[in-house]
Amino acid sequence: MSDKPVIAQRTPCTLEVGPGTIYWCRCGRSKTQPFCDGSHTGTEFSPMEVHFEEKKRVSLCGCKHTKKPPFCDGSHSKI
C-alpha cells in the first residue's frame, strides 16, 4: 500500500466534539470519516488520539494533508 494518505474529501469535517477522546483517521481509508475505523490495518498509518477537555466545534482535516493535524489548515485547496 502507498505511504501517502488517501484524500478522503476536499473539505474539512466541521463538527462538535468532546469532552473526551477521538481517534482521527490519518490514512483516509476509514468509512467513518473523520474518525478511524481500523481501515489502516496493513499500512504504516495509525490513528491520531486527540483529547478535548470540553465540548467545542472544530474543523478536522478531510484531505489528510494538513500541516496542523488533526485540524484543517486549508491544504485541501492546494491539492
Over the chain, what is the mean pLDDT? 96
Q: Greater confidence, 3 or 57? A: 57
**DSSP bridge partners of 56:** 17
- The half-sphere exposure of 11 on its side-chain side, counting CA atoms within 13 A, is 3
Residue ranges and CATH numbers for the domains of the chain are 20-78 (3.40.5)
Give which of 14, 16, 12 is closest to 52, Cα–Cα. Answer: 16
- 47: pLDDT confidence band, cut at 50, 70 and 90? very high
Do residues 5 and 75 lie in contact, with contact meaning Cβ atoms separated by under 8 Å?
no
Which pTM does this prediction carry?
Answer: 0.93
Q: Rounded distance, CA 28 to CA 36, Å?
A: 9
